[in-house]
Amino acid sequence: MSKKIFFILAYILLFSSLLSAEMSFNYIFIDYERTMQLLGETEGKSLNYHTYSSDLHFDKVEYGPWKDVVIKDSIQETPSISISILSPEIWTSWNSTTAWGGNDGSLWQGKGFNSVLSGGFEINNPNFSIRLYPEIWGAQNLDIDIIDTASSSGYGDYWTVFDNLQRYGDEFYYDFSWGQSDLRLYWDSFTIGFSTESIILGPGQVTNIILSNNAGGFPHFDMGTSEKINIAYLGDFEFRAIWGFLEESEFFDEDSSNDYGLISGTYLAWSPFFWDNFTIGFNHQYYKPLSEWDSWDLVRGIPFLDRSNLPGDTKDMMMSIPFNWIFPTVGFEFYGEWARNDNFGNFEDLYKSPEHTQAFTIGINQVIKQWGDKIIQLSLELSTIEQERTYEIRAAGPWYRHSWAGWTQGYTNNGQLLGASIGPGSNSQWGKLSWIKPEGQISIFMQRIAFDKDYFYQIASFEDMYYFTEFNCGVENLLFFNKFDLYSALIYTFDYNYNYVDKNDKYNLHIEIGAKYHF
pLDDT tens digit sequence for 260-283: 999 999 999 999 999 999 999 999
Residue 15 has pLDDT above 70, yes or no: no
Per DSSP, the residues of 37-65 read HHTTS---S-SSEE-HHHH--SSB--SST
Residue 142: C-alpha distances to residues 95, 216, 420 (Å): 10, 22, 25
CA 262 to chain centre: 20
What are 317-345's pLDDT values in tens digits? 899 999 999 999 999 999 999 999 876 66
Query: pLDDT grade, residue 301 (50/70/90)?
Result: confident
Mean pLDDT is lowest, of 31-35, 151-155, 200-204, for 151-155
Contact between 28 and 22 (Cβ < 8 Å): yes
Answer with the residue of higher pLDDT: 77 or 487. Answer: 487
Q: Work out the average pLDDT over 189-216.
A: 96
Closest to 44 in 3D by CA, of 440, 324, 374: 324
Per-residue confidence at 309, pLDDT binned at 50, 70, 90?
low
Q: What is the pLDDT of residue 133?
A: 96
Residue of 156, 99, 154, 147 whose CA lies nearest to 500: 147
Number of CB atoms found within 10 A of residue 325's CB? 16
pLDDT class for 308, splitting at 50, 70, 90?
low
Question: Over the chain, what is the mean pLDDT?
Answer: 89
d(C-alpha 361, C-alpha 453), whole Å: 17
Residue 19: pLDDT band by 50, 70, 90 thresholds? very low
**216 Cβ neighbours under 8 A, 6+ residues apart:** 105, 106, 107, 177, 179, 196, 198, 413, 414, 416
Count of helix runs (H) and strand runs (E) in the chain: 5, 26
Q: Answer yes or no: is pLDDT of 179 > 90.
A: yes
What residues contact 457, with CB distance under 8 A and at least 6 apart?
none
Top-confidence residue, 29 or 398? 29
2-517 in CATH: which number? 2.40.160.130
Assess whether pLDDT exceeds 60 at residue 403. Answer: no
Query: CB-hemisphere CA count at 13 Å for 59?
Result: 15
Say what the pLDDT of residue 311 is.
58
| Highest mean pLDDT, choosing among 52-66, 286-300, 357-371 | 357-371
Q: Measured in whole angstroms, how far is the alpha carbon of residue 294 from the centre of its chain?
A: 29
* Cα distances (Å, whole numbers) of residue 264 to 74, 188, 242, 261: 34, 24, 5, 10
Residues 91, 514 contacting (CB under 8 angstroms): yes
Give the whole-angstrom CA distance, residue 335 versus residue 56. 22
Nearest to 433 by CA among 481, 515, 366: 366
Helical (H) or strand (E) element with 442: strand 440-450
pLDDT (tens digit, 9 = 90+) per residue, 71-87? 999 888 888 899 999 99
With helix as H, strand as E and coil as C, how does 123-191 read? EEECCEEEEEECEEEEECCCCCCCCCCCCHHHCCCCCCCCCCCCCCCCCCEEEEECECCEEEEEECCEE
210 pLDDT above the threshold of 50: yes
Q: What confidence category does residue 6 fall into, taking pLDDT thresholds of 50, 70 and 90?
A: very low
The domains of the chain are located at: 2-517
Count of residues making up the chain:
519
Output 461-464 pairs: Cβ under 8 A, ≥24 positions apart. 464/502
pLDDT tens, position by position, 95-134: 999 999 999 999 999 999 999 999 999 999 999 999 999 9
Give the pLDDT score at 381. Answer: 98
Residue 31's pLDDT is 94
Q: Is 503 helix (H, G, I), strand (E, B) or coil?
A: coil
Using the predicted structure, report yes or no on whether residue 14 has a pLDDT greater than 60.
no
- Please give the Cα distance from 471 to 505 (Å, whole number): 11
Write the pLDDT tens digit of every residue in 504-517. 999 999 999 999 99
Q: Is 61:294 a contact under the CB 8 Å cutoff?
A: no
Distance of CA 86 to the CA centre of its chain: 21
Lowest model confidence (mean pLDDT) among 91-105, 246-260, 395-409, 451-465: 395-409
Share of the chain above pLDDT 70, in %: 91
List CB contacts of 294: < 8 A, sequence separation 6 or more.
none
| pLDDT score, position 305 | 72
Inter-residue contact 45 to 227 (CB < 8 Å): yes
The mean per-residue pLDDT over the stretch 246-273 comes to 91
Q: Residue 407's pLDDT is what?
A: 67
* 210 Cβ neighbours under 8 A, 6+ residues apart: 201, 202, 265, 283, 285, 318, 319, 320, 337, 339, 419
pLDDT given for residue 22 in this prediction: 58
More confident residue, 258 or 472: 472
pLDDT at 405 over 80: no
Is pLDDT of 21 > 80? no
When pLDDT is cut at 50, 70 and 90, the band that residue 3 belongs to is very low
pLDDT at position 10 is 42
